[in-house]
Structure 1
Amino acid sequence: MDEKFKRIALDNSDTIVQMWLDEIESLKDGNYTSTISDELFESTNREFVNVIFTSIKSQGATSTVENFSEKIINLGWPLSYITDGLQVFRRVTIDYILSQSEKVDSAFISEVLESVDKWVEPIIRELVNEYSGSWEHIVSLQRVALQELSAPLIPVTEGITVMPLIGTIDTERAKLIMENLLEGVIKNGSEVVLIDITGVPVVDTMVAHHIIQAAEAVRLVGATCILVGIRPEIAQTIVNLGIDLSKFPTKSSLKKGFTRALEITDRKIVDIEGKDNNIDEILGSIQKGQGE
């Protein structure tokens, strides 16, 4: 930015900031910021404009820009807040500089526009790049966290493991299910694995194919797979699609599946005097463990 225009902007920063705040405030009711509290909106705006002036004074302040971009992401505000704010700042700065000149011709206007652009555009690029980088990093961390939760393998008792599935199963998640199943069966020495699809909203041909593949993989490493949680509508869909699930046991509920798993491992639940050790308590402890 031309030094003379830079000096005008810095010497009159309070006025320019107030012009910018007034215009940003007028946009609040018509966009995504309408639900934001006035206190948070004003404090963030002042921090934003401080980032801009810090950038021109130091010719780049990466840490300040990075921290502000991360804050906007954590607040859940879109990238347009940054781009709109900078465009408004560019406009009010140009208007103010032009208003301070006694002689305004096309050459002077062109000089002002070029100078302000050279100041604002690097800030836009830096803020957008930092915002995008921070966003990608956060999304990556969330994806990893979701993957860890998407196919949990829970050892219930010796030789019996449960994998509760919730939500849609796509190809990527099916691969994760397969990996977790095989790794868990070997690690826990499982004889029986219960795959609970109670929380899977739709079982189509693709989902059934992935489940069958997982069950077959479990069988190849010496364990038995039982599919549980088959609701009436899911059973009807499976029949209508002609999907063959006859190669491994199926049960309508986790309770029935667990009872069958005990039979396969030559065990059963018995009542001990003074204690009511029944299957409902065991399954209740499983659900409590999932909640924790």
Structure 2
Amino acid sequence: MNRVIIHYIQEQKEHILKQWVEKMKEKSDDRVLRVVSNHVFVGTSREFVEMVISNLNETNDEYSERLHDFAEKVVKLGWPLSFVTEGIRVFSSIVFEGIKADRLVSEEDEMKVFYGLDKWTTPMTNEIVHIYSTTWERTVSLQKIALQELSAPLIPVFDGISVMPLIGAIDTERAKQIMENLLNGVVKHRSEVVLIDITGVPVVDTMVAHHIIQAAEAVRLVGAKCMLVGIRPEIAQTIVNLGISLNQITTKNTLKKRMEAALEQTNKKIVQVGGKSEDSNS
């Protein structure tokens, strides 16, 4: 890179940082300023400028590692990729305008400075886009796995009785997760009766009903009984209109009634002891 550029950046680092923070705050949308405090914004901005400057002195491996760490940090902070790439453009513009203002080069050499900055920042932008995208994809993937694990939990409530509360829409991918969690949970908890609560499922169409029937059949094949809870009037009407048979599944409209039936099927009952309800084996 042009020695004038390197010298200017090293000598004017604090001035460049101050200008960069001011300009980027003007360009920031609410997403950036809302999720971080001013202290964090300035601190991360300093880290960003330091990272850009470090490209002057560090080896490729050292710089790549610093880029990777910074990309992970801004993903967690919620900074959009467009904001980060715009930051490099603004940095380059500040340096170019500063060199011109201080008349460190002649007018004839200004284009050399401009192209020198572009040659330096373009690979940096490409690398940041690549690392940022990879980091974001990995973060989203981990979040997706976590959500899938939480989206269909099988919860043991009594010895031999488990409940699976379902909330939200059910698509094919989630249906597979429900089936997997259901079968693994039945074996793990040695469940005799499984209550699937669909109170929080907004729509039960042909596909959803089909998946529920499949899940119930799978539970039966591993030696447990499946009970369906939370069939609202509109869902019942939909199931009837679709001509779907739920003959193999016991249904109740409330979890309380279904729990009482589940206790009966596992030879248990709730008895009153000292003013408190407790479950006991018959």
The bucket for the TM-score relative to the shorter chain is 0.7 to 0.9
Could you say which residue in structure 2 is the equivalent of 1:92?
Answer: 94
Higher strand content, 1 or 2: 2
Aligned residue in 2 for 1:269: 270
Identity of aligned residues (%): 51
The farther-off stretch of 109-118 and 249-258 is 109-118
- The answer to whether the Cα contact below 8 Å between 2:4 and 2:104 also exists between their aligned partners in 1 is no
Give runs of aligned pairs for residues 63-82 of structure 1, distance below 5 A.
Answer: 63-82=65-84
After superposing on structure 2, the runs of 4+ consecutive aligned residues of structure 1 that deviate more than 4 Å are none
- Alpha-carbon distance between aligned partners in 1 of 2:45 and 2:106, rounded to the nearest angstrom: 33
Aligned counterparts of 1:10 and 1:135: Cα–Cα separation in 2: 32
Q: Secondary structure at the match of 1:193?
A: strand
Matched letter for residue 10 of structure 1 = Q
Q: How does 1:1-292 map to 2 (within 5 A)?
A: 1-28=1-28, 32-35=31-34, 37-60=37-60, 61-99=63-101, 100-101=103-104, 103-105=106-108, 108-272=109-273, 274-277=274-277
Go from structure 1 to structure 2 and tell me whether the alpha carbon gap of 1:149 and 1:21 turns closer, same or farther (over 3 Å shift). closer
Residues 167/232 of structure 1: CA separation in 2 closer, same or farther (3 Å cut): same
Aligned partner of residue 199 in structure 2, secondary structure: strand
Q: What SS class does the counterpart of residue 272 from structure 2 fall into?
A: coil
Three-state SS of the structure 1 residue aligned to 2:277 is coil
Shift of 1:101: 4.4
Assess if the C-alpha contact under 8 Å between 1:153 and 1:180 holds in 2.
Answer: yes
C-alpha deviations, 1:151-187, integer Å up to 9, x for none?
1112222322211112221111111111122222223
What's the CA shift string for 1:259-278, capped at 9, x where partnerless?
11123233333334x24326
Q: Which amino acid aligns with 1:121?
A: T
C-alpha distance in 2 between matches for 1:113 and 1:159: 73
User: What SS does structure 2 have at the residue aligned with 1:277?
Assistant: strand
Equivalent position of 1:285 in the other structure: none
Cα displacement (A) at 1:68: 2.1
Note closer, same or farther for the CA distance 1:43–1:246 as it changes in structure 2 (3 Å cut).
same
Aligned residue for 2:157, secondary structure, equals: strand
Structure 1 unmatched runs, 5+: 280-292
CA contact (8 A) 2:9 2:53 kept: no
Alpha-carbon shift at residue 34 of structure 1 (Å): 4.8
How far did residue 102 of structure 1 move? 5.3
Whether the 8 Å CA contact 1:9–1:97 is kept in 2: the answer is no
- Equivalent-residue separation in structure 1 for 2:259 and 2:105 (angstroms): 87
Cα 1:82–1:278 change in 2 (3 A) is same
Measure, in 1, the Cα distance between the counterparts of 2:157 and 2:32.
Answer: 48
**CA 1:33–1:271 in 2, change beyond 3 Å: closer, same or farther?**
closer
Alignment TM-score, normalising by the size of structure 2: 0.87
Does the 8 Å CA contact 1:228/1:252 hold for their aligned counterparts? yes
Q: Quickly say closer, same or farther: Cα 1:26–1:191, change in 2 above 3 A.
A: closer
Confirm or deny: 8 A CA contact 2:9 2:95 kept in the other structure: yes
Q: Is the 8 A contact 1:197 1:227 kept in 2?
A: yes
Q: Aligned residue pairs: how many?
A: 275
Residue by residue, what CA displacement relative to the aligned partner does 1:109-163 show, whole Å, maximum 9, x if unpaired? 4422221112112222232223222222222221221122111112222322211
Give 1:228 shift: 0.5
Once the two structures are TM-superposed, the CA of residue 214 in structure 1 deviates from its matched residue by 0.4
Cα distance in 2 between the residues matched to 1:278 and 1:12: 74
Return the alpha-carbon distance in structure 2 between the equivalents of residues 248 and 37 of structure 1. Answer: 54
User: Which whole-Å CA distance do the structure 2 matches of 1:146 and 1:221 have between them?
Assistant: 26
Rounded to whole Å, the distance in 2 between the matches of 1:234 and 1:254 is 16
SS of residue in 2 equivalent to 1:250: strand
Structure 1 residues 231 and 88: CA distance shift in structure 2, 3 A? same
One-letter amino acid of the structure 2 residue matched with residue 194 of structure 1: L
